[in-house]
Amino acid sequence: MTESELKDRFNRFAIEVYKLTTKFPNAPVYQNINSQLLRVSSSSAANYHAACRAKSKADFINKLKIVEEELDESVFWLNYLVGIDKKWIVDTEPLLKKGNELLSIIVASINTAKRNQKESLFKKSKIKS
């Protein structure tokens, strides 16, 4: 998957979460969930965009870790919503699937980036020897 395709997936995820929140009733618990879901889903998308512009491998890894945290929190709030009322299962099921898929991609990317960073450091240390 290309960087552009992944950016698009993050944007669509955030937009679909927004569309879900427009269905919430005007009750305090839903206002809180609305606020949290909008914040973390859009933050994961924005931070992935930022990771793509990282200035170094370490910066890239750190930004991806933020993406991971925000996505994980998005999944939490979607599950919490279902815990409050099972009627949300139909709406959250596809979002949970997409969120968990994105989370898997990001975790794999972090692991690959860390491995590449270690290999690069190893090569540099061998050159100096």
The pLDDT tens digits for 46-76 are 999 999 999 999 999 999 999 999 999 999 9
pLDDT of residue 72: 98
pLDDT of residue 80: 98
What number is the average pLDDT over the span 76-86? 98
pLDDT of residue 118: 81
Question: 7-40, pLDDT tens digit by residue?
Answer: 999 999 999 999 999 999 999 999 999 999 999 9
Query: Does residue 126 register a pLDDT over 80?
Result: no
What number is the average pLDDT over the span 97-103? 98
| DSSP codes, 46-98 | HHHHHHTT-SSHHHHHHHHHHHHHHHHHHHHHHHHHHHH-GGGHHHHHHHHHH
Say how many C-beta atoms besides its own lie within 10 A of residue 16's C-beta.
16
Q: Look up the CATH number of the domain holding residue 35.
A: 1.20.1440.60
Instruction: Say which DSSP state 26 is in.
Output: S
Q: Which residue segment(s) compose the domain that 81 sits in?
A: 3-128
Provide the number of structural domains found in the chain: 1
The model's pTM is 0.89
